[in-house]
Amino acid sequence: MSKQTHAFQAEVAQLLHLVTHSLYSNQEIFLRELISNASDACDKLRFEALNNNALYEDAPELQVRLSFDKAAKTLTITDNGIGMTAQEAIDHLGTIAKSGTKDFMSKLSGDQKSDAQLIGQFGVGFYSGFIVAEKITVETRRAGAAAAEGVRWISGGTGDFEVETIHRAERGTSVILHLREEALEYANTWKLKEIVGKYSDHISLPILMEKEEWQDGELIDPSNEEAGRKPGGMVKTGEWETINKASALWTRPKKDITDEQYADFYKQISRDFEAPLTWTHNRVEGSTEYTQLLYIPGKAPQDLWNRDKKAGIKLYVKRVFIMDEAEALMPSYLRFVKGVVDSADLPLNVSRELLQESRDVKAIREGCTKRVLSMLEDLAKHDKAPESSDEVTDVLSDEDKAKLGQYSKFYAEFGAVLKEGLGEDFGNKDRLSKLLRFASTTSDTVSVSFADYKARIKEGQDAIYYITADTLAAAKNSPQLEVFKKKGIEVLLMTDRVDEWALNFVHEFDGTPLQSVAKGAFDLGKLQDEEEKKAAEDAAETFKPVLAKLKEALKDKAEDVRVTSRLVDSPACLVVTDDGMSMQLARMLKQAGQQAPEVKPVLEVNPEHALVKKLDGSVHFHDLAHILFDQALLAEGGLPEDPAAYVKRVNALLS
């Protein structure tokens, strides 16, 4: 193929402008990204070679090499991995393929530090080379292809790139960075070793660099040593040395690994710049043998709620990389967990389809799930400090002190995802229930567990009361809470979109039933005295004629109309039957484009409210009835079916 010029994908052009003009806050990430790409290319070769050993050609030892030329101002990263064809070079280096391009571009903020972090998260690491390079040359040949099918790709990081066919004897890829004047510090052995040690020490492949040794300068006058020598310098010896540990971190004994090394390894596999919240590293023996190194991130990834995004942990078999996102090894509700599983039992040619059916995989999945839940339980146990600061000093170890507040941080990021497990993982439902946290009428912070609630339950109270709403403000100000506030009864405030669905699978906690304050007829049982019950019965009897007229006026909107004692200040509220779908859930399903049954709520009225008292004998009865219903609907978070008619009725009464 003769030299051809191609235009970059539009988003790549934008990205390159950002990289070349803005991202200088953490320049050295470019080397981490390019070494990681080189390692991935070697992993892909190893995987494809399981079925075609000839792909190794005459070089079975996989490796990454770093070299530089100060005179030419170049830094080269070379791997002998899978390599690329010409079309693959055009596709992979000219577009951001399958990497959430729109999402990535929407997150660019102009903040250099945070924008730099996005580079790794969205799989666009190759372009970080332009942070330090004014031009990049890529020379590559795919494993198994002829030497004449090599490819050269060149770009100055502007609007286009060139591709041509070359002769390349070695398989794999060389990325040649033509360094900017201000980036020549990266053409230095010690600088490169420092960066590799910081970011890439855990790459299981050897990363090689040519050794250097000091050489004295030549004599200025060979016949007169006193005349002195020319300046000496470091000279390359032609020997190559490994500059990383070149062994998988998870295979080393825990006692030999520092917290800093664990954190660095997490950053390398997750492309996250922040340290993880916690991790667990174990070798599991028994009928199924495997090693697990699992991390809980400190921050939720940008694509946590992207259903099309594959999630999972890295799978190795006997230290051979098999797949990057083995979703079969971790349930969907723990999709935020990062890490590695290395199995001693699975076949090297295991596929995603076989993973779904394997008994060993099922055992690994169950083991990983239990280990993650144990980590969360440990964080939750130590989330709050003892009452006195002296007790913190005297009772807690340094390790436990470090865990204070960590579970709250976790829950703020991943609590809503964790709730999905209530419907997906029945075997661990009880454990998950204990990990849930909510705001309540006594606490605005999302920190109240079911156990906390039960510990301060009122004498005679036989249910855990809760309400679901779109926002905390809507929940706190709901009319359904009025009598609970009056009596000092705590109500859990649930505002995550997943709550309504999740609570279909949790009906009680530790023997105490859960009861929505917006479902079913109002009954506080022993918490209502006989006088209150008698007053409610009398009101219902006295109000029968008005209720009958309300039912007739609202027959198309309300399933029933009844008197209630759950209201104190509001004239009316809407509830649904005990087994009915809530109005909030019905709205959410419709907004998501899904079918939802038509929900006809029950209108409950407060017979002591002045507006309700005015109904009897009012010439505006029909309009007042509809206004009461629509106002109750608004307070519940819905919208009147005919907003214009509602406004017209209100205006008519006001005038």
- Digit-coded pLDDT (tens) for 78-110: 999 999 999 988 888 876 543 444 454 455 555
What pLDDT, on a 0 to 100 scale, did the predictor assign at position 400?
Answer: 66
What pLDDT, on a 0 to 100 scale, did the predictor assign at position 33?
Answer: 83
Q: How confident is the model at residue 122 (pLDDT cuts 50, 70, 90)?
A: very low
Percentage of the chain modeled with pLDDT above 90 = 36
What pLDDT, on a 0 to 100 scale, did the predictor assign at position 413?
Answer: 93
What pLDDT, on a 0 to 100 scale, did the predictor assign at position 307?
Answer: 61
Q: How confident is the model at residue 69 (pLDDT cuts 50, 70, 90)?
A: very high
H-state helical runs in 133-243: 189-199
Out of 119-128, 178-187, 282-291, pick the least confident: 119-128
Options 3.30.230.80, 3.40.50.300, 3.40.50.720, 3.30.70.260; which CATH number does 249-381 get? 3.30.230.80
Average pLDDT value for residue range 127-147: 92
Percentage of the chain modeled with pLDDT above 70 = 86
Out of 139-143, 348-352, 438-442, pick the least confident: 348-352
In angstroms, the CA 598 to CA 37 distance is 53
What pLDDT, on a 0 to 100 scale, did the predictor assign at position 294?
Answer: 96
What pLDDT, on a 0 to 100 scale, did the predictor assign at position 375?
Answer: 95
Q: Would the pLDDT of 198 be above 80?
A: no
Q: How confident is the model at residue 326 (pLDDT cuts 50, 70, 90)?
A: confident
What pLDDT, on a 0 to 100 scale, did the predictor assign at position 40?
Answer: 84
- Would you list the domain boundaries of the chain? 4-216+232-242, 249-381, 436-654
- With a CB cutoff of 8 Å and minimum separation 6, the contacts of 364 are 288, 290, 292, 329, 341, 343
Q: Would the pLDDT of 36 be above 90?
A: no
Residue 438 contacts residue 419 (beta carbons within 8 Å): no
- With a CB cutoff of 8 Å and minimum separation 6, the contacts of 110 are 22
What pLDDT, on a 0 to 100 scale, did the predictor assign at position 116?
Answer: 45
Shortest CA distance to 79 belongs to which of 156, 173, 147, 189? 173
CATH code given to domain 436-654: 1.20.120.790
Q: What is the dihedral of CA 404, 408, 410, 415, to 10 degrees?
A: 150
Q: How confident is the model at residue 289 (pLDDT cuts 50, 70, 90)?
A: very high
Cα→Cα distances 348→221, 290, 329, 343, 361, Å: 65, 14, 16, 10, 13
- For the ranges 138-152, 247-261, 528-542, the one whose mean pLDDT is highest: 138-152
Average pLDDT value for residue range 106-124: 49
Q: Would the pLDDT of 219 be above 90?
A: no
The pLDDT tens digits for 357-416 are 888 899 999 999 999 999 999 999 988 755 555 544 555 566 666 677 889 999 999 999
Report the mean per-residue pLDDT for the chain.
84
For 269-285, the DSSP string reads HH--SSPPSEEEEEEE-
Q: Is 4-216+232-242 a CATH 3.40.50.11540 domain?
A: no
What pLDDT, on a 0 to 100 scale, did the predictor assign at position 366?
Answer: 94
Average pLDDT value for residue range 624-636: 90
Q: How confident is the model at residue 525 (pLDDT cuts 50, 70, 90)?
A: low
What pLDDT, on a 0 to 100 scale, did the predictor assign at position 281?
Answer: 96
Out of 110-119, 229-238, 277-286, 573-582, pick the least confident: 110-119
Q: Is the dihedral of CA 77, 83, 85, 91 positive or negative?
A: negative
Q: Would the pLDDT of 123 be above 50?
A: no
State the pTM of this model.
0.67
297-320 CB burial, b ≥16 within 10 A, e <16 = bbbebbbbeeeeeebbbbbbbeee
What pLDDT, on a 0 to 100 scale, did the predictor assign at position 290?
Answer: 94
